[in-house]
Chain A
Amino acid sequence: MGLFDEQVAAVERFLAEERSAGNVREFRAGSRPAWPSEQSLVLEDDTAIELGNPRIASLSSLVWSEGPVEDGRISLVGPDVSEMDERGVPFAQVVIAGGKFTDVYESYRDVREAIYDTVLEGFMVRTMPSRQSIWCRISREAVSGGFSLEDLGDALIWNLKTVEPVTGAEVLFVTSSVADVERLAPAASGARRVIEALMKMYEEKNFDCETCEYRDVCDEVMDLKKIRERLADQKAGAGP
């Protein structure tokens, strides 16, 4: 069982439900020219669309799967940028990376940095890892230049696949409603708990399960348990 199997399954259930209701549009990464990559500051005055303002609804999640992923698929539930008729739009971004993640700790950092490295002209992103929030501004210029969430998905997938163990990646965006964004919240916070447990193991090297606040997560996720046992063995082997 993989680290994020439960969350990946939850995201897939969400997609399946939306798909059967006819609410999902799919794009393929690489089917249009890449949007220029550039770190951008978008001031309020230049902002046409704001995605995931914390006062509306926002969610960002990164999970991975060691099983097959739909490589290159960009799914969109809700309006795309050109169809948005309000300035403030609820937003969820879920990234599913596929591959064999042997060094989970390093891999997680690398994959996360690939997401941070995704910068696009006229598009400003702010993310808050601990709150799983993402807050983006799209400039008027980018909107009139035809910027689409397809461009964002495309850039994310491209960058993710530069990370060594990543062999495939897919992205889901939700812009339909606050309620739809919130449906993904349990999966996002579940993934966050797994990561926090992992970080704690690696950084604090404390394997006293009786006192650990993440014990329930470890008990659920077999892979975490295995990692913990391996690390604890290493520590014991290292001697006094």
Chain B
Amino acid sequence: MILAVCGKGGVGKTTISAVAAAALRRRAGVRVLVVDGDPAGGLGMALSVEAKKTLNDVRVEVIDEVKAGERSKRGLAQAMDYRLAEAIIENGNLAFLSIGRPDDVGCYCRVNSFLKMAIESLAGGFDMTVIDAEAGIEQVNRDVMATVDYILLVSDTSAKGVRVAETIRDVAKRMVGGDGAGLVINRVRDEGEVESIRRSTSLDVIGWIPEDDSIRRYDENMTSFFDLPECPARISIENALKATGLL
């Protein structure tokens, strides 16, 4: 199963992805691929893994391979797999890949379409893939979303956040592999807010997460989410993830 966590900037995508990664890390025998799809690289920080090499580096290296005369699809696929293996950081049953930031304009092959190829080539070997997507709809293009089975939409309690989630769902609807999409509402202080969002949106609200100080503390102290205790937010996130089929 490939799940992408999407939503407006700052609503909690990385927090949820990190809790998902940590929960899956505890499930021995389940092979998990975790993709930090945000060029800013927040998920790596949340999990305290540092990518020495990113997907963008792999992309550049594969372009070099083309320049060096390799033209066959199979040859390039081999080169890509080799470089991906160098870029992946492993931790137990978990493999981590960071998309990185493209710094050249020579977009022979845009990073997002490269991300699709990488996911297609890699995800088959894993039982679960979690993608912490870039904010907004940039990655919600045909390329990446065609590989995704479930879009976990995240919003805070603001109307703007919910609207962005709806837009993402609409753009993604025609592309997502499965028909899975659900909304989680994050940083809830008053349960009444969840009820009013439920009434106002056509999205399927699959859960809500309370405002929780331990999340903020973990973020501020840069402690790895692998060690996050069972706080209220973690419990609600895990429950929402159960509703998606990831856990």
Contacts and interface: CB of A to CB of B under 8 A. Distances in A.
A41 interface: yes
A40 B81 CA distance: 13
A141 interface: no
B187 interface: no
Contacts of A135: 82, 85
B71 interface: yes
A107 interface: no
Contacts, number: 55
A76 B237 CA distance: 53
Interface in B105-162: 124-126
A129 B90 contact: no
* Secondary structure of the A contact surface, majority rule: helix
Nearest to A197: B69
Interface string A116-143: 1000000000111110010100000000
B70 A130 contact: yes
Nearest to A108: B72
B79 A41 contact: no
A129 B79 contact: yes
A43 B93 contact: yes
A128 B31 contact: no
Contact of A129 (B70, B85, B95): B70
A129 B74 CA distance: 10
B78 interface: yes
A43 B91 CA distance: 9
A83 interface: no
A126 B90 contact: no
A126 B95 contact: no
Interface in A18-51: 39-41, 43-45
Contact of B79 (A43, A45, A130, A200): A130
Contacts of A44: 90
Contact of A128 (B69, B78, B124, B126): B78
B92 interface: yes
A120 B12 CA distance: 41
A199 B71 contact: yes
Interface string B59-95: 0000001001111101100110111011000101101
Contacts of A203: 69, 71
B62 to A, nearest CB: 10
Contacts of B72: 109, 112
Question: Is the interface on chain B under 10, 10 to 19, 20 to 34, or 35 or more residues?
Answer: 20 to 34
Contacts of A116: 74, 78
A113 B77 CA distance: 11
A220 interface: no
B82 A41 contact: no
Interface residues of A, number: 22
Given A196-B69, A199-B69, A129 B126 contact: no
A112 B71 contact: no
A128 B85 CA distance: 11
B75 A112 contact: yes
Given A43-B90, A135-B82, A200-B69, A129 B125 contact: no
Contacts of B68: 130, 196
A113 B71 contact: no
Contacts of B90: 43-45
A77 to B, nearest CB: 24
Contacts of A130: 65, 68-70, 79
Interface in A191-237: 196, 199-200, 203
A109 B72 CA distance: 8
A44 B78 CA distance: 19
Given A112-B75, A196-B69, A199-B71, 13 more contacts: A39-B125, A41-B124, A41-B125, A41-B126, A43-B90, A45-B92, A45-B93, A126-B78, A126-B81, A128-B82, A130-B65, A135-B82, A199-B69
What are the nearest 10 A-B pairs in CB distance? A41-B125, A126-B82, A44-B90, A128-B82, A126-B85, A129-B75, A127-B78, A199-B69, A130-B68, A196-B69
22 contacts: A39-B124, A39-B125, A41-B31, A44-B90, A45-B93, A54-B86, A109-B74, A116-B74, A126-B82, A126-B85, A127-B82, A128-B78, A128-B79, A129-B78, A129-B79, A130-B65, A130-B70, A135-B82, A196-B68, A199-B69, A199-B71, A203-B69
